[in-house]
Amino acid sequence: MAKGSGGAGKSLVRATLAIHEPPVGTSTTPGGLIKTFDFDFNPAQLSIGIRSQWKVTPAPAVRNGATPEFMGPEPREMGVEIFLDSSDRPGSNSVLRKVESLLDCCQVTARSIAAKQPSPPWVVFQWGSFSTARFTAYVSSVEAAYSLFGTTGVPIRATCQVQLHEIPSKTRLQNPTSGALTARRVHRVVAGDSLQSLAWREYGETSAWRAIAEANDIDDPTSLRNGTELVLPAAEEVRP
């Protein structure tokens, strides 16, 4: 398996996993961005599942059985396989560090402990326009299988199986043209960006900059560094 190169590689959209602090209080918007996990290779396979919850109450007087009652959908689940390989750089510890980043997704963050709301990070998987796979979730399990090691014993190849469980938001609106659920996305700051300009571009309201600042724990909205990655809340999560 090789990374893309040449013209095709330049246009290839890479999958990412945005890792956020859990929110404070009852918010369903992820907190500040901890880091973005960049995939070395796009997933070879990915599974998404959802279940509907039904309730059946036995009724002895009904000869043909009771009619089931729909109780609502359960949160989505997603399993993704992540392949990591630095065999072209035998002295690199990038595979070790990336696996540790995934394992940390099951560990409580120091900031959430300080806020007296202990919680592991919240994550958002993104892969270009694959909107079905983009939702806020927590990582329920990570299994890493190391298959190649350098001369010092450091792993240089690994395959990770990661299980994500959706964290439902209070409102889940649909795009009327595509039927897809609206979702947060990550924006990398470039020269000329401001919270107000991003708010106007994303939501049509400059006053929505406060929602972006809150989602990213920004205290000084006038100070944005180029290259900073900002999570942009879904439109329905932005208070008017």
pLDDT, one tens digit per residue, over 1-10 is 444 444 344 5
Whether pTM > 0.75 for this model: the answer is: no
83 and 137 part of one domain? yes
34 and 151 part of one domain? yes
Q: What is the pLDDT of residues 8-32, one digit of tens each?
A: 445 578 899 999 999 888 777 888 8
36 and 98 part of one domain? yes
What is the pLDDT averaged over residues 174-198? 65
122 and 81 part of one domain? yes
Beta strand segments in the chain, E: 16-20, 33-38, 46-49, 52-55, 69-73, 77-85, 122-126, 136-149, 155-166, 185-188, 229-232
3-state secondary structure of 144: strand
Q: Determine which helix (DSSP H) or strand (DSSP E) holds 197, and give its type and residue range.
A: helix 195-203
| Per-residue pLDDT at 110 exceeds 90 | yes
* Any domain includes 177: no
165 and 118 part of one domain? yes
